[in-house]
Amino acid sequence: MSGWLRIAGLGPGSEALVTPEVMAVLAEATDVVGYIPYVARVAERPGLTLHASDNRVEIDRSCHALEMAAEGRRVVVVSSGDPGVFAMASAVFEAVEAGPKSWRDLDIQVLPGITAMLAAAARAGAPLGHDFCCINLSDNLKPWPLIERRLRLAAQADFAMAFYNPRSKSRPEGFEKTLQILREECEPERLILFARAVSRPDEALRIAQLADATPDMADMQTVVLVGSSRTRIIERDGTPIVYTPRFTPE
């Protein structure tokens, strides 16, 4: 079987943050499959067909990619950030598990990318420098009570936290609830970084204390990083540095 499937992360936005491995596989591909704005980031060229589709059709998109790979085509499924972090890698493997047995014999590889979470942390300093967790605040694929339980337990365990999909037009109340939960579990001085469009021309970073944070500080292009109780800020000219020490006293 000559075809193959690669599930690739395009990073947070800047071409400079796309890995050489991903660039090389895109140069070999016959077909690129993905969500419309992510496929738009792939340059057109002779011999390459771009298959862009709308959001929330991840399984259909995965099946289409697997079918083309089974026909002998060289297919890349693209995601922003890293494909294994709330993205297409899991969807493709769901399709493999439910699909024809022959799909399990395909040459499938996941190519990592730089996540918005890690790009935002690097811009700020090292807010994820000690133990941290990552939570998707969208309740499209899991119930809100589960999200709330995870938020409370993570705050009680004093993790630094990264939030994806904090607030959309269809569910503006979710991030307001999140802030309320944090206020019930954390001190008002807890540091929060709002990082919007990291590595893109319209990038914007904002650092606030929990007491001053408001829901409208986040949207679907924002990744939110919440420090632990140990997270510190170093004031200086220009953008301050936010970091979490590597140690916790006994």
- Model confidence at 230, pLDDT cuts 50, 70, 90, reads very high
Q: What is the pLDDT of residues 35-56, one digit of tens each?
A: 999 999 999 999 999 999 988 8
List CB contacts of 86: < 8 A, sequence separation 6 or more. Answer: 136, 164, 165
As a whole number, mean pLDDT of residues 168-185 equals: 90
Say how many domains are in the chain.
Answer: 2
Residue 249 is assigned to a structural domain of this protein? no
CB atoms within 10 A of CB 188: 11
Residue span of the structural domain in which 141 resides: 117-243
As a whole number, mean pLDDT of residues 169-173 equals: 79
Residue 99 is assigned to a structural domain of this protein? yes
pLDDT at 237 over 80: yes
Q: Which candidate, 97, 58, 94, 104, places its Cα nearest to that of 79?
A: 58
Residue 230 is assigned to a structural domain of this protein? yes
In this structure, the answer to whether residues 204 and 138 fall within a common structural domain is yes
In this structure, the answer to whether residues 97 and 176 fall within a common structural domain is no
In this structure, the answer to whether residues 128 and 233 fall within a common structural domain is yes
Chain-wide mean pLDDT for the chain? 95
Full-model pTM? 0.92
Q: What is the DSSP string of 39-54?
A: HTTSPP-TT-EEEEE-
Mean pLDDT check: name the lowest of 52-61, 130-139, 168-177: 168-177
Q: What is the pLDDT of residues 120-154, one digit of tens each?
A: 999 999 999 999 999 999 998 899 999 999 999 99
CATH number at residue 48: 3.40.1010.10
- Model confidence at 224, pLDDT cuts 50, 70, 90, reads very high
pLDDT at 1 over 70: no
